Amino acid sequence: MRYYSSIADYLDKKIHSFNSDSIITLKSKNRPFLKLADDEDLQHQYHFLMERGNGLYEIGFPLIQVADFETNNSLTQLIAIETKQGKVIKFYLEDEVLDETQLINDEDLAKALLKELGKKCDRTTAESISLFIGLFDSLTNHHNDKKTTPLNIEKSLDKLSQEDARLPLVLALNKRYELRHKLELIAPKLRSQLNRVAEMMPLGHIQEMDAYCLRDYVRRPGKDAIEKAGARQELMGIKRYQNYNTPENRFLKGFCDLLHLECQDYHDSYQEAKSLYIAIERFRQEPSVKTIPRTTIFTGKPNYVLQQNPIYRSFYQAYQDYLKRRTEKEKFWGFRQALLVDVVKILWLEALLKLEGSYIDCQTKIEILDIPKEGKYLRDNQEFKILCLLNKSAFIFNLQQDTNNLEKGDFQLNVALQRITKKEPEIFNSQWLIWVFWYQPEAEILKKIKEISKDKLPICFYLYPSPELSEKETEEIIESEINLIKIPHPLEENLETGVRLITEKICYWLAE
């Protein structure tokens, strides 16, 4: 078992062996690879390994846990890969961010991590993953057979470009279930239960006695109640106390703590987040709420109240939606590089259709997998042919992907141009190699991509800048003289902005 430390090493065929004396660190943002020997097979499936054929696996991102950060004092996770032949190799895998959404309702821990990590304690990555999943969910909603026409991309992008679709999860839940309004309604009248406690009380206050009280009464000396009450005139009686420490209230308080933590990152940007934050603060100040113990584990099998009471049920359904989104995020976290490649491919397809005079066969379908495989929604090696007539020129665009040949990029665009002139038609062919990165790639990677592209046009897209990029690295990237393009922020802007950007770039490159 050997490895390539980055995609630049893979393209340069620079393979390394693992050293048993020391544990290496691989940076996920550089897209490293793992190469198995011919006689090796993986013992398990790993939530960050993406198969590329012939025993080659691209290494994705680790889901860094708080315990990993506290142990390693860095955003790394110790990885152990085991083969069926009994060989085990270990290495550290580094991510650029710690997922803040995993902190649930521990506000003290969240504040400490935010202070120490700053922007590296991040919610944006999880929200971006959810938005990208929503794109493919929207595409498959048009057809039940998991095939959709490219003409439906525009509808899906328009839907996701609405402000509501790009709301942070906490605000989307608040809007869907009216959480703030319902919290204000339920706060002063939480459900409670009466606890019956046997205790000494003045004779005139006794309203109820049970078997225990009667036994105590019989044992006392005296002929009647007054004599048995003694000098203090007290007997054992039942007193009822109102108790708010019920399963539904423990859940409600715990979920509100979680929402409170989520709102902290957004109350400066969204007025509704601020309103929900204040409503939860007021809820916490209710005397009845203060008697409910705080717990980090506040769910279990829902009781009758959580399932039937309209207000409590709304909060429980909101929590179920929250868990679903969180589970989806965890499944895709390690594979988010592959997910982004599919998203960018969809944006390219829509950008080509936006060109004036473009046309695609009405029978062309986008095949989407029933169950995403290692972060990929699109079926491998699909091709899309788009025709375009501009003035006296005819273009044939062929968007295709060879998943097992990364030297051709994450996907390619073959461009055939035919100019109609008075003489013989002029035909030109070119190939554009398109690379996609979650984080801005390093200069070494860009130089290697440009080097292997030769007469082809290399184009590199990235979603987010690297949290730590020195001035020297920035200068080296500029000097690489490659088409490096940042995808518009999917949350602050929208995916349609990305389509317009790609369309403009296509026109520019065609003009060259």
Residue 87 lies in a domain: yes
Same structural domain for residues 222 and 268?
Answer: no
Q: How many domains does the chain have?
A: 4
3-state DSSP helix/strand/coil percent for the chain, to nearest 5? 45, 25, 30
Residues in the chain: 512
Last residue of a domain, one of 95, 110, 133: 95
Same structural domain for residues 371 and 433?
Answer: yes
- pLDDT value of residue 10: 95
What the block records as the tokens of 220 is: 């006392």
Reduce the DSSP state of residue 390 to 3 states and report it. strand
Same structural domain for residues 366 and 479?
Answer: yes
Q: Cα–Cα distance between 149 and 132 in angstroms, integer?
A: 18
Residue ranges for the chain with pLDDT beneath 70: 105, 142-146, 163, 296-300, 421-425, 467-481
Under 8 Å between Cβ of 334 and 376 = no
- pLDDT value of residue 479: 54
Same structural domain for residues 390 and 502?
Answer: yes
- pLDDT value of residue 470: 57
* 446 backbone dihedrals φ, ψ, rounded to 5°: -65, -40
Prediction pTM value: 0.86
Same structural domain for residues 423 and 313?
Answer: no
Same structural domain for residues 261 and 377?
Answer: no
Q: What is the span of the domain harbouring residue 293?
A: 169-190+246-333
β-pair partners for 373 = 376
Same structural domain for residues 19 and 61?
Answer: yes
